A and B are shown apart, each in its own frame.
Chain A
Amino acid sequence: MQAIQLHQPASLADAAKLRSGNDDARFLAGGQSLLAAMKLGLNSATDLINLAALPDLAGIKVDGNRIVIGAMTRHADVAANADVKRLIPALAVLAGSIGDRQVRNVGTLGGSIANADPASDYPAAVVGLGATVRTNQREIAADAFFTGLYETALQNGEIITAVSFPVPEKAGYVKFKAPASRFALVGVFVSKGTGGVRVAVTGAAGSVFRAAGVEAALAGNWSAAAAKAVKLSADNLNSDLHATAEYRAHLIPVLASRAVTAAG
């Protein structure tokens, strides 16, 4: 790996300052995507700002009808958390399906959504539940957070502190895994709650997106059959060596129907 300057700030303000004005600096959360990318020469960061020592960024709290998960909370801890399993079991299932066990022991919620890999799992939950991303500067609605391929609404020096998930009436997540990488070839998160029906799709396009056609079908009739009957266009979906756009378009309603079944 390239030589780096490693910064170990003790406060959010110091961390933000280190990033401001340095385009070659990156925040280090768990590092499970970042370090791998640097080793492959896909990321040329010269400075890493380790967020591990910052206080209060890890942990899971129930706050009224929401679960607030700190940005540095590891996937394994979300998957095993009793409150998450009780209130949003689909979120626990999703966190427990990321990567492999060793990756889940280190990787974090904030790191995952800041990286915004188009095939990662957490964006599906953030958008599929209509969560709110909290940063050191503001609150960002899920629908405004993911803006493109590895792109988010985060500004230079902006640090995710937590994600606040509303507890839904029902939710389910099912992904079709690429066998080698375990990333989602397509993953679909469905939920029904006070904000209505949401259907978020990961792995199928440049960024997570809401499948409006499936949402409309499920709003009228929350059933696996209603989701499965939807026909989606393959326009703007990914085609690669793993699957064509048409195949992905076919998978979305199929996985949505399975997610509805999983939601119970």
Chain B
Amino acid sequence: MTVNVTMKVNGQSVTAAIAASTLLVDFIREHLRLTGTHVGCNTAQCGACTVHVNGRAVKSCNLLAAQANGAEVTTIEGLAAADGTMHPMQAAFKEHHGLQCGFCTPGMVMSACELKGKLPNATDEQIREALDGNMCRCTGYQNIVKAVKAGLAA
């Protein structure tokens, strides 16, 4: 079955006819070719696929694209300024070495950005709790927490 979806992705309106079973992450990666959003576990555990839907961090591998019909979606590609200047959270991850292989990073950054609106003065413990839905298999999280703390303060 085909369904029509229309949504605003990183400020641009997109419309497509897609299979009803299309996951939001596949719509973003395969149809829109925005491959910054990663698929890690594909079972809604690792958080590499985190994007914002109407300002909320969600796991795009666990949502049908049709569920985001009419929504505003922001992916990692939507964070930097038009001239390429990194978003403060991206800059903080770079500055504090909050990544090694980088696979989880787009999800980490999107998750951290949602936190900015909710817990701008988060403690280390609150940051760890808030990043519970994002897994990193390289860093041991120390520098991620540092980066998020700096990004929230920036």
Contact = CB atoms under 8 A, between A and B. Distances in A.
Interface residues of A, number: 26
A4 B43 contact: no
Given A101-B130, A103-B133, A106-B63, A36 B19 contact: no
A35 B63 contact: yes
B58 A1 contact: no
Interface in A1-50: 1-6, 8, 28, 31-32, 35-36, 39-40, 48, 50
Contacts of B66: 6, 8, 50
Contact of B20 (A6, A105, A106): A6
A52 B64 CA distance: 12
B1 interface: yes
Contacts, number: 75
Nearest to A107: B62
Interface string B47-77: 1001000001111001110110000000000
Contact of A4 (B20, B58, B114): B20
Nearest to B107: A102
Interface in B10-40: 19-21, 23
Contact of A182 (B23, B58, B64, B132): B132
A62 B20 CA distance: 37
A83 interface: no
A246 interface: no
Contacts of A1: 21, 23
Interface of B: 1, 3, 19-21, 23, 42-44, 47, 50, 56-59, 62-64, 66-67, 111, 114, 130, 132-133
Given A50-B66, A102-B58, 18 more contacts: A3-B19, A3-B20, A6-B1, A6-B3, A28-B67, A32-B44, A39-B42, A48-B20, A50-B67, A52-B67, A76-B56, A101-B114, A101-B132, A102-B44, A102-B57, A105-B58, A106-B56, A182-B132
30 contacts: A1-B21, A3-B1, A3-B20, A3-B21, A5-B1, A6-B20, A6-B64, A6-B66, A8-B66, A28-B64, A28-B67, A31-B64, A35-B63, A36-B62, A39-B43, A40-B43, A52-B67, A76-B56, A99-B133, A100-B133, A101-B111, A101-B133, A102-B44, A102-B50, A102-B59, A102-B133, A103-B59, A105-B56, A105-B58, A106-B56
